[in-house]
Amino acid sequence: MKRRILKSKKFPIYNYSTKINNQSVSRDIIERPNIAAIIAVKNSQVLVVRCNRFPNGVDIEIPSGNIEKGEKPIETAFREFREETGYVAKKMIPFLKFYTSIGYSTQTVNCFIAEEFELTGKPKLDSGEFLTVKKLDFNELLKMILSGKIIDSITISAVLTYALKKKLVN
């Protein structure tokens, strides 16, 4: 059973209840939009965005964004990549899907690898988005993750999984 318990402009909270092994179980869950995230690597350089995540500070992240109602994750990946970076990819290859916080949120992240991409214009940012596009050496990005300089969980999960799948780390 699902019952709304808090209304917010962006993220409503619902109480879910069920029985598991004849035991009543209840969870308060934040309903958040799902996300598409994009790893774009060319010649050992990865496209990232420097984001101001007020009030939590500035971070380096892979491009990502909310999946709009009626939109497929891959459509979001193409759109967000173009909007946040000014680059257009010919291909988006799905490679990872995970929950951001499985214990209290419905949000999943659908990760894609951008292939055959090129700069076609300037980023078209949404109101309230404060991003700067950067290129980083992939190994430098890994070092930043391992040293704690990168704190975005989506970027950490996607980049480390990419490195393992591509056998870029031991």
Whether the CA torsion 61, 133, 91, 125 is positive or negative: it is: positive
**Can you tell me the mean pLDDT for 18-33?**
93
Helix (H) or strand (E) holding 17: strand 13-20
**Can you tell me the mean pLDDT for 3-30?**
88
Q: Per-residue pLDDT for 136 more than 90? A: yes
- 145 touches 62 (CB < 8 A): no
Q: What percent of the chain lies above the pLDDT cut of 90?
A: 77
User: Could you say which of 1.10.3720.10, 3.20.20.60, 3.90.79.10, 3.30.360.10 is the CATH number of the domain covering 32-165?
Assistant: 3.90.79.10
The per-residue pLDDT for 127 is 82
Least confident window among 29-43, 82-96, 116-130, 133-147: 116-130
**Can you tell me the mean pLDDT for 109-131?**
91
The per-residue pLDDT for 170 is 64
Least confident window among 22-36, 58-72, 100-114, 116-130: 116-130
Q: Which whole-number Å values give the CA distances from 39 to 11, 45, 104, 138, 156, in the listed order?
A: 26, 11, 26, 11, 11
- 148 touches 51 (CB < 8 A): no
The per-residue pLDDT for 39 is 98
Q: What percent of the chain lies above the pLDDT cut of 70?
A: 99
- 106 touches 116 (CB < 8 A): no
Q: Per-residue pLDDT for 134 more than 80? A: yes
Q: Look over the chain and give the mean of its residue pLDDT values, rounded to a whole number.
A: 93
- 13 touches 28 (CB < 8 A): yes
pTM beyond 0.75, yes or no: yes
What are the residue ranges spanned by the domains of the chain? Answer: 1-31, 32-165
**Can you tell me the mean pLDDT for 104-122?**
95
